[in-house]
Amino acid sequence: MKRIADMTRDELEHEALTDPLTGIGNRRAFDEDEARAQANIYAVLDMEGLKWINDGLGHATGDALLKATAWALNRHRDIVSLAVKAYRIGGDEFVVRFGELDEKLCVEWLDRLVAELPLISYGIGQSIKEADANLSFRRRLREMTWKRARRGECPRNLARVVEQEIG
């Protein structure tokens, strides 16, 4: 790891705008991008049961699942548009900024992501506030239909996701 004193301006900027665990943009990068250009559609995502995973299986497993989520977000972004940008804004929460895309295409993209990583829930909207409200609604709906564990419970589909994503 390079010392701060030895970093170039570009390296310092990269460090300031990148989540060190996942390698994608962090909250600061999201805020900086928002100041330059608004997105047409936003998605807010969270991972089911990260606390349970960290406490029960260890932080290395939780970190591996966060990395797998970021990797999947980046891998799938070229399906809809290279303008799609993902950020880890804290803990188990991610934000995706979609450019000038049709909402139906964004939902299809997010549904493919959830099919691959069923520990993810998402909400979509024309603002972060709307997307976050939709995330809360979808989380409750998934809990009521037994597709998502309640807070503090072992996540559903955990064994499949761990085996598939982190071997």
Judge whether 33 and 85 are in contact, CB under 8 Å: yes
- pTM of the model as a whole: 0.85
Q: What is the pLDDT of residues 30-63, one digit of tens each?
A: 999 888 877 789 999 998 888 888 988 899 999 9
Judge whether 123 and 134 are in contact, CB under 8 Å: yes
Residues forming the active site: 92
- The answer, yes or no, to whether residue 92 has pLDDT greater than 80, is yes
Judge whether 60 and 158 are in contact, CB under 8 Å: no
Output DSSP code: residue 150.
P
Alpha helices in the chain (DSSP H): 9-17, 27-36, 50-57, 59-80, 103-116, 128-144, 158-166
Band (159; pLDDT cuts 50, 70, 90):
low
Superfamily for 39-166? Reverse transcriptase/Diguanylate cyclase domain (3.30.70.270)
